[in-house]
Amino acid sequence: MRRFLSWLTGTRTPSTEQNPAASEADSPARGNTRFTLDLYAQLKDCVGPYENVACSPFGVSLALATIHAGARGRTEDSLARVLRRTTDDGPWQPALEGLRAELIAGARNDDCVLGLANSLWAPTGLPLRNEFSATVGRSYGADVKQADFSQEEPARTLINQWLLETTRQLFDIVVARGDITPDTRLVSIAALCFKGYWATPFGAQQTLDEPFWVNPHTKIIAPMMWQRGTFPYGQFPFHFADRLQVIELPYAGVECSMVLLLPEGLEGIIELERTLGRQKGKLDSWLGALRPREIDVALPKFTVRSRFHLGDALIAMGVTGAFSREDADFSGMRGERDLWLSDAFHQALVAIDEFGATDDAAASGGESPTRETGRTTPRPVPMFRADHPFLFLIRQRASGQILFMGRVMVPTLAQKFTPVL
């Protein structure tokens, strides 16, 4: 397996024993964790309390880096302050460039399925500098495009068609009617889909339709995957007498993993989100305390897709001036201060099934527990049964850099993907 993102810092020393004290500590949150939790906290409030959420801090970071490359003065400073938080106050440019390159390499090697779209749209008649376009294209994979915003519907159709073609139909509508007006100046688009192959696939023959509790009063039937394996795992005191289970399921090929956070109570996700919003160091302390443990895992297949306007969220996170006609300075894009950011759109898509990136593979998966007891032997084995709402992360294991964060309130069937490079 390739060394993944060796230039990123922040690795933690592995240990084979549980450290209860680590789970209790509220250690200072790493910059990347703070950025992720701040972004998630802003975006989850844009949807209903019982809706699924998926966002990509990495995808949003690429969009911000693209915009930053053409910003000057205070606009540049505010973007730089936010971007430094994405890599623990380190040099964020090489971090983002390297992470993007490694993910693309993994997709080309069939280690994962990647859909990545990053673009910046400017008005027709206000051409941007070739040097700027070349820089952001090379470093962040950004397409710099132009559209006639005075023609609202044709401009909207043009942007959506670009997204459809770029992602091979993984995403379609990102700009809705009314999002474009004759006064629109700059529009940022960031869309990201990732789906990896499990290092230990689930056995398809073990997947059965079982209840999933949306809340204490409502349940649905969802395809529940099962397996027994040894994974990084921990149980932590949480809310009053409740506990929190955390498990990390590694992907094969790329050194990424999915982390699942499952509160004990059927409505525990509400308190879990509050805790992460108030005590951002909790997430790092929980992840740092995970230890390998044999465990039975029951997890629903799901697909989560979200679309967001990022303007209010980015302003709340400290991106000041960029959205103001009077204060924005994007003179690095064309030499004049006649541009401002009108809107920034973000879409994210995360899906899992028994195998990872395909639903027609022939894989036996890990050891299969008996469905009635959750174990194949009399020896007791912990059960991680995600039959009610939970949070998920996709992260790079060595550095802890978070690619996605979201929640599953109502699992939906996973779909088949084709690679996008």
Q: Summarize pLDDT for 371-418 with one digit per residue, the tens.
A: 544 444 456 899 999 999 999 999 988 777 899 999 999 998 533 434
Residues 116 and 263: their CA atoms lie apart, in Å, by 31
Strand, helix or coil for residue 22: helix
State whether 174 and 208 are in the same domain. no
Residues 290 and 231: their CA atoms lie apart, in Å, by 9
Residues 278 and 23: their CA atoms lie apart, in Å, by 16
State whether 127 and 181 are in the same domain. yes
What is the full per-residue pLDDT of the chain (421 aa) written as tens digits? 333 232 222 233 333 334 433 333 334 557 788 889 999 999 999 998 889 999 999 999 999 999 999 999 999 999 988 887 766 555 777 777 877 877 777 777 677 777 889 999 999 999 999 999 999 999 999 999 999 999 999 999 999 999 999 888 888 788 999 999 999 999 999 999 887 889 999 999 999 999 999 988 889 999 999 999 999 999 999 876 689 999 999 998 777 899 999 999 888 999 999 999 989 889 999 999 999 999 999 999 999 999 999 999 999 999 989 999 999 999 999 999 999 999 999 999 998 999 864 333 334 455 555 554 444 445 689 999 999 999 999 998 877 789 999 999 999 853 343 433 3
Is residue 9 a part of any domain in this protein? no
Residues 142 and 155: their CA atoms lie apart, in Å, by 19
Residues 97 and 227: their CA atoms lie apart, in Å, by 36
Beta strands in 200-285 (DSSP E): 208-215, 218-237, 243-250, 256-263
Radius of gyration of the chain (CA): 22
Is residue 68 a part of any domain in this protein? yes
Structure tokens at 383: 């059960």
State whether 99 and 49 are in the same domain. yes
The residue behind tokens 């966002």 is 55
Query: Total domain count for the chain?
Result: 2
For residue 49, the one-letter residue type is P
Is residue 4 a part of any domain in this protein? no
Cα 374 to Cα 154, 204, 206, 265, 347: the distances in Å are 56, 17, 12, 20, 37
State whether 263 and 392 are in the same domain. yes
Is residue 418 a part of any domain in this protein? no
Is residue 15 a part of any domain in this protein? no
Strand, helix or coil for residue 409: coil
Is residue 266 a part of any domain in this protein? yes
State whether 237 and 89 are in the same domain. no
Structure tokens at 255: 């050194």
State whether 189 and 270 are in the same domain. no
State whether 320 and 376 are in the same domain. no
Report the CATH number that the domain containing residue 270 is assigned in CATH.
2.30.39.10
* Residue 8 phi, psi dihedral angles, 5° rounding: -85, 145
State whether 166 and 205 are in the same domain. no
Residues 419 and 194: their CA atoms lie apart, in Å, by 10
Closest CA to 146 of 167, 125, 168, 121: 121
Report the CATH number that the domain containing residue 322 is assigned in CATH.
3.30.497.10
Structure tokens at 195: 């789906």
Is residue 294 a part of any domain in this protein? yes
Closest CA to 387 of 219, 171, 179: 219
For residue 59, give its domain range: 45-196+304-350
State whether 94 and 171 are in the same domain. yes
State whether 75 and 98 are in the same domain. yes
Neighbour tally for 109: CB within 10 Å:
11
* Residue 278 phi, psi dihedral angles, 5° rounding: -85, -35
Residues 3 and 102: their CA atoms lie apart, in Å, by 10
Number of alpha carbons in the 13 Å side-chain half-sphere of residue 232: 18
Is residue 80 a part of any domain in this protein? yes
Burial string for 162-186 (b: 16+ CB within 10 Å, else e) reads bbbebbeebbeebbeeebbeeebbb
Relative to beta strand 53-55, strand 402-408 is antiparallel
Residues 322 and 75: their CA atoms lie apart, in Å, by 6
State whether 292 and 172 are in the same domain. no
Structure tokens at 234: 């921990």
State whether 341 and 244 are in the same domain. no
The residue behind tokens 């690679």 is 419
